[in-house]
């Protein structure tokens, strides 16, 4: 493993790392307390579009984690900010759940689920997107709407079940339009850049801790970050990719990893 020249900061994924479904990863809550006690800075970064930062914070608190919403950067916030930069107040046709709709409205955008003029087709996680929505979205794109997907993860862990993510929905959309889909979340470099700007962390000394090789680890490597793969979620048995700085059985092993390399 390449040597760390100074104490790192951490980006930490949530689903599959801090919890799976409705249960915390064993000893996970104590890890954040440990990082605070050792003055290791961290930011929770997640591709989930099903909850706002406050809702994620509430769920983590119910699982025993002590966290402030300001320590969480969900992709939904990054998407809303992107739409603000592009359109000011965007007219959105939404394929996604009510929490994403609420966030977009709070950020000054209008949201519709009907076939009416739109600046953007926004794709977030829901159970389940249907082809009727994709059919409407295709016609809106033909009229000039941009397609903005929060991510294109193939799957996401929901307790003991691995469910399909936005990847198949994005693929279906791409199959019926001529243009491209704008992807906001991991593994896009823009998302990691936004997280670095949000946190003030130094790129070369920031470690992405995640359970998805495609989303977390490869994305971090491409963005010039360090990376650690945990084996409690999406990539439990996949080979460690070249360029990854190591692996942990779970986030519970992070304190030992830190104590070994930074014993002060």
CB 115 within 8 A of CB 141: no
pLDDT score for 208: 98
Sequence-separated (6 or more) residues with CB below 8 Å from residue 233: 15, 16, 17, 20, 157, 211, 212
Sorted by where each starts, the structural domains of the chain and their CATH numbers stand as 9-47+187-261 (3.40.50.1000), 86-183 (3.40.50.1000)
* Closest residue by Cα to residue 38 from 243, 257, 255, 215: 255
pLDDT score for 149: 96
Going by the DSSP 8-state scheme, the letter that residue 91 receives in this structure is E
What are 204's two structure tokens?
Answer: 């070369």
| Per-residue confidence band for 31, with pLDDT thresholds at 50, 70 and 90 | very high
CB 165 within 8 A of CB 130: no
203-254 residue pLDDT tens: 999 999 999 999 899 999 999 999 999 998 777 788 899 999 999 999 999 9
Q: Is the pLDDT of residue 3 over 70?
A: no
Q: Tokens 């994305």 sit at which residue?
A: 219
Q: Tokens 């490869």 sit at which residue?
A: 218
Stated pTM of the model: 0.83
Q: Is the pLDDT of residue 260 over 80?
A: yes
| Per-residue confidence band for 2, with pLDDT thresholds at 50, 70 and 90 | low
Among the residue ranges 21-30, 66-75, 140-149, 222-231, the one predicted with the least confidence is: 21-30
> Which of 76-80, 87-91, 196-200 has the highest mean predicted lDDT (pLDDT)?
87-91
Q: What is the mean pLDDT of the segment spanning 31-60?
A: 91
Q: Is the pLDDT of residue 165 over 90?
A: no
Q: Is the pLDDT of residue 88 over 90?
A: yes
Sequence-separated (6 or more) residues with CB below 8 Å from residue 94: 100, 101, 104, 111, 112, 113, 122, 124
Measured CA distances, 212 to 65, 108, 124, 157, 240 (Å) = 22, 32, 18, 10, 11
Neighbour-count burial of 69, counting CB atoms closer than 10 A to its CB (0-12 exposed, 13-18 middle, 19+ buried): middle
CA dist 29 and 218 (Å) reads: 26
Neighbour-count burial of 71, counting CB atoms closer than 10 A to its CB (0-12 exposed, 13-18 middle, 19+ buried): middle
| Per-residue confidence band for 135, with pLDDT thresholds at 50, 70 and 90 | very high
pLDDT score for 22: 65
Between 188 and 164, residue with greater pLDDT? 188
| Dihedral angle over CA of 23, 150, 86, 97, nearest 10 | -70
pLDDT score for 115: 97
């Amino acid at each position: 493993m390449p040597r760390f020249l100074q104490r790192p900061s951490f980006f930490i994924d949530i689903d599959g790392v801090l919890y799976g479904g409705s249960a915390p990863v064993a000893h996970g809550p104590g890890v954040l307390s440990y990082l605070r006690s050792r003055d290791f800075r961290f930011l929770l970064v997640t591709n989930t579009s099903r909850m706002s930062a406050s809702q994620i914070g509430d769920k983590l608190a119910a699982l025993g984690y002590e966290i402030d919403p300001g320590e969480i950067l969900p992709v939904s916030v990054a998407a809303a900010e992107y739409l603000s930069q592009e359109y000011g107040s965007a007219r959105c046709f939404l394929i996604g759940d009510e929490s994403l709709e609420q966030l977009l409205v709070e950020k000054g955008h209008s949201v519709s689920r009907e076939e009416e003029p739109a600046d953007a087709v926004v794709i977030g996680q829901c159970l389940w997107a249907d082809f009727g929505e994709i059919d409407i979205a295709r016609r809106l794109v033909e009229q000039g709407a941009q397609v903005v997907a929060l991510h294109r993860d193939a799957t996401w862990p929901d307790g003991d079940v691995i469910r399909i993510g936005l990847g198949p929905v994005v693929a279906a959309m791409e199959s019926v339009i001529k243009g491209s889909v704008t992807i906001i979340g991991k593994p896009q470099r823009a998302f990691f850049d936004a997280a670095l700007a949000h946190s003030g962390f130094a790129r070369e000394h920031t470690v992405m801790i995640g359970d998805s090789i495609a989303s977390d680890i490869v994305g971090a490597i491409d963005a010039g970050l360090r990376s650690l793969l945990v084996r409690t979620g999406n990539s439990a048995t996949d080979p460690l990719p070249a360029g990854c700085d190591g692996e942990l059985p779970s986030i519970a092993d992070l304190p030992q990893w830190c104590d070994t390399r930074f014993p002060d």
